[in-house]
Amino acid sequence: MLSSRVCEKNKDEIMAARPASTDSPADSSAAPSAAPRGDLAGRLIAWYERHRRVLPWRAPAGERPDPYRVWLSEIMLQQTTVKTVGPYFRAFVRRWPTVHDLAAAELDQVLHAWQGLGYYARARNLHRCARVICREHGGRLPDGEAALGKLPGIGPYTAAAIAAIAFDRPATVVDANVARVMARLGGVEEPLPRARPRIEALAAALTPSVRPGDYAQALMDLGSIVCTPRAPKCPICPWAGACVARAMGTAESLPRTARKRQRPTRRGVAFWAVRADGQVLLRRRAEAGLLGGMMEIPSTEWRAKAWTAKEATRQAPLRARWRALPGVVRHGFTHFHLEITVMAGRAAEVDGIDGVWCRIDRLGERALPTLMKKIVAHALARGP
């Protein structure tokens, strides 16, 4: 078993697991000196030059990154895996190769191309941001974190990632991969999200002023390839000698996370309205909120309490003889589960209805999110 002296030596090398304290000058968690910080960054960049991932949005070694591609990829990668994003990214840049092309597109076109990526507010903000960039910035992304953070859909993390990767600014980038690496490197036992400030302080202290863009991408790759959530490959890690968690034998258990609350269940009713020629009614959801701006099968609000048929039909989009179809459509959102009952009916009236009628064989042309596709499939399988 390694002695506590070894662990203290490792802590002294990284010395950034916590901010320096003015109350305790002898604290071993004081901010790191330039030498060890540069040494760790240099080791990581050397590793990156040999092992960097080939990604469709990443510029080849020695080439300048395209800020548009960096921005687009960072928005797509929010809460979405690299494997999932790849085909969508390629399709987007084929269709809209520049920010000007994206700004000129219709929102419905962008939402349709986004189908399957989820978190559709990202697509709306992406489109709005493209227009702001063209209108207010001459079609060029700003190169500083502060200016980037003022654009639609760009928060602190995304602003830092774009500034570092696209413009080589010394910005501190902390995504899930980076947070995991830093928690292990610093031996941070406190659970997330409470540990977030300590992890960000460590990351900031280690961010170099030389090649910060390569460093940021190297750190992401390290978390993806080596410092993985399970079975981290510590023996081949370029930071193995400085890692507190490795020395303590706790790498796989970090970062710790607070126990998640059980997601509640909400319930709603969707109305599969069919008119005489077989077309079905679609409606655009409000811009604000979940699935904002997307097309939907008209539905009630979503709530915890189950709906009675009488309550639900009061919110129906038109008069019809509604009948509940057997079964329930289930869908998961980040913060809750959703159960949808589908009611089908023949439209008794078609004039003055809020929505659009669509042939069933053309539903694929509409910007329908995954939930609505599930409802369509359910209605077609069980409906009239």
DSSP conformation class of 251: G
Q: Locate tokens 């081949």: which residue? A: 236
Phi, psi torsion values for 137, nearest 5 degrees: -130, 20
- CA–CA dist 221, 50 (Å, integer): 12
CB 183 within 8 A of CB 199: yes
> Which residue in 8, 13, 74, 339 is the catalytic one?
74
DSSP conformation class of 257: B
- Pair of tokens at residue 57: 């949005």
Q: How many CB atoms lie within 10 A of CB 312?
A: 21
Task: Classify residue 286 by burial, with Cβ atoms within 10 Å: 0-12, 13-18, 19+.
Answer: exposed
* Percent helix, strand and coil across the chain, each to the nearest 5: 45, 10, 45
Q: Cis peptide before 67, with omega less than 30 degrees from 0?
A: no
Tell me which long-range contacts 376-379 makes (C-beta under 8 A, separation of at least 24): 376/297, 378/325, 378/327, 378/329, 378/342, 379/272, 379/297, 379/325, 379/342, 379/344
Estimate to the nearest angstrom the gap between the alpha carbon of 357 and the chain centroid: 33
Is 63 catalytic? The answer is no
Length of the chain in terms of residues written: 384
Q: How far are the Cα atoms of 69, 77, 99, 366, 381 from residue 107, in angstroms, in the given order?
A: 19, 20, 14, 12, 31
CA-wise closest residue to 156 among 111, 120, 204, 121: 204
State the catalytic residues.
Answer: 74
